[in-house]
Chains A and B, each alone.
Chain A
Amino acid sequence: MSPANPIIRVENVSKHFDTVAALSEVDLFVEPGEKVVIIGPSGSGKSTLLRTINRLENITAGSIVVDGFDLYSPHVDINKVRMEVGMVFQSFNLFPHMTVLGNLTIAPIKLKGMTRAEAEAMARRLLEKVGIPDKADVFPVKLSGGQQQRVAIARALAMSPKIMLFDEPTSALDPEMIGEVLDVMAALAREGMTMVVVTHEMGFAREVADRIIFMDGGRIVEEAPPAKFFTAPEHPRTQKFLEQIL
């Protein structure tokens, strides 16, 4: 099934660590504006797959084309591609030596040539959007995990990306903070952002995803819209996984 105009085109991708296959012959096409949630047991290759989409992870075979850029062509300017692909990490990875505002403005200023005033105005709008406008001038250590992750989302959005990748964005959070981060992500989804999300949050997947992808052993085992995926999974491995977590 190859849709008309995918913004992310992962074709026949494999990745081997020494002799272990992290990814085997994976195909994934994502339409602009589509929300894809990838789930699966740990070690299934879901994070690895996500990280190949901005080339944080190299592949050993296949091809990945993002917004027309062939990521593994020797001529591609990977930094240009990455400016269009925001990424949010499990462990936030905010820059601890900069204030929240500094975290949000450094990339637009240095990479897009924005003036400080422009960048700061935009940063404040983004902080408003993620619900922490009052934290602009504090350092990340002063923030809760949930706040840090929302800053991380805002930092990625500051580059006005076309695609957002989320790598288990709530896995490092205390339970009471998961909601605030998922709310921000859901709002982003409603605005029409193209999103690929690796998560264990089934409620989020059910509500926000257009399509759910289940991975196991480095392969895509099953993909389906959430309604079908959660009620009538076809593959026995999917059924078993869902039984265990639901």
Chain B
Amino acid sequence: CSSNKEEDTYVEAPVETLYNQATDAMLAGEYSQAVRLFDEVDRQHPYSVWATKAQLMSAYSHYLQDQFDDTIIAADRFIQLHPGNRDVAYAYYLKAISFYAQIADIERDQALTDLSMKSLEEVYRRFPESPYARDARVKYDLTRDHLAGKEMEVARFYMRSGHYGAALSRFRVVVEKFQTTSHVPEALLRLTECYLAIGIKNEAQTAAAVLGHNFPGSRWYEEAYSLLTGAKLEPRADEGSWMSRAFNSVF
């Protein structure tokens, strides 16, 4: 915050006027000004009920300026000081979406994706009936989808350079652990491709069959089908019935 000298020049104002000035600044889009004023409320009148509200509003103003790191710090401080407050759900939610907004694209470090998944999960698990639970749940699924994307990216890297062993185990991870994500159809097609490339026909057929069974209309299945027919094979489920039961339970 501002250097020491400037702080003393701040006139000690009653808490209501300070708070209203801050809110007006925020509504007018003067977010950094709003942050400074909200922090003043908290600093000058730490015991007023407005101080608690001001801490939360200061975090929100940071968020509006895309200063995600500061938002997270402010939200954390609110949670530490007022765990019992009825607005604490909003603080958790604000922290989660600040992580979520910084998720890097799949070719780069996914540390932020893990952080946002954990904090989103914290929101919908601790405050199931809060208005933010549903949105947190949706964003949580999107983040998981993103992690699956990262697995796919690495798997494709190995597939393109012909390391089918490595590619197969990564695609399997997507199908096993990320069954609810949007990458599963493509993973099944890749399994078909890779198993065909190394000549394990029954696995290729199983993968294609599951793909056809669960995503009949998708282009991925068309490509898998043409691949198999090209190689004079038709997709049939491996005799193990475990596969279809496991998959139906999910979809």
Say whether A and B bind each other. Answer: no
Residue positions of A touching B, CB distance < 8 A? none
